[in-house]
Amino acid sequence: MSRHFRGHMVSALRKAAHAGDLHRVNRPGDVDAQLNTLMATDWVVYSKDCLEHTHTVVRYLARYTRQIAISNARILAVDEHQVTLRYKDYRDHDRHKSLILNGEEFVRRFLLHVLPKGLMRVRHYGFLANRCRRQRLMQVRRALAVVEQAPDADMAASDAELAYTCPHCKQPTLRMIGTLTPQRHTYDQPSNHKDQHYRA
């Protein structure tokens, strides 16, 4: 599988180079040198047998389309030098553990989830875009003859991790109940500064 994938990828890159689509590689002979290096390297293709099941694929992709890089609820402590966060160890029976990272490493890992300029997250594009998500999801479900079901326990637990608990009312989520319009107070300017009066 590794050799098959490597061959197709390098072949596609070579065709793109001949077509002039690799604009950043413009030095003569640089394309051939780089592709020859890629072909001489043993590639590692990551694959899992469980991904052949539809529900497993959907749940795997859902973690990337519905959630952010890290929720506030997972950050346990922050000081001037390090960050302590909670994570789920899937190799150890999904147990929750703590991880301590220095500030630079935490920022580096967080920035890995920042998309390059010009790309858009799946949850903001297509039928998942906010402006048409409700209508489009209903159309997709009708086309697939799928009845909307309540989320299972695992999905509910994921949502609970994303929820922010109010420190006052202890409710798991915050909802907008009104909009406050900014108000500016105008004061009459006296003609003479000697006429100004102050009251406590």
Alpha helix locations (H) across 67-195?
103-111, 133-144, 153-162
Averaged pLDDT for residues 181-193:
59
Query: Which pLDDT value is given to residue 22?
Result: 79
Q: What is the pLDDT of residues 100-132, one digit of tens each?
A: 999 999 999 998 888 788 777 776 777 777 788
Average pLDDT across the chain, whole number: 76
Q: How far apart are CA 189 and CA 116, in angstroms?
A: 52
pLDDT of residue 72: 85
In which band, very low, low, confident or very high, does the pLDDT at 48 lie, cut at 50, 70 and 90?
low
pLDDT band at 152 (very low <50, low <70, confident <90, very high): low
pLDDT of residue 181: 75
d(Cα 136, Cα 127) in Å, to the nearest integer? Answer: 5
Residue 118 identity: G
pLDDT higher than threshold 80 for residue 40: yes
pLDDT given for residue 150 in this prediction:
58
Q: Work out the average pLDDT over 146-167.
A: 55
Determine the pLDDT at residue 78. Answer: 92
Please report the pLDDT score of residue 197 as a whole number: 45
Going by pLDDT thresholds of 50, 70 and 90, the confidence category of residue 148 is low
What's the confidence (pLDDT) of residue 162? 43
pLDDT at 104: 93
Stretch 71-87: mean pLDDT = 91
Nearest to 39 by CA among 8, 12, 73, 10: 10
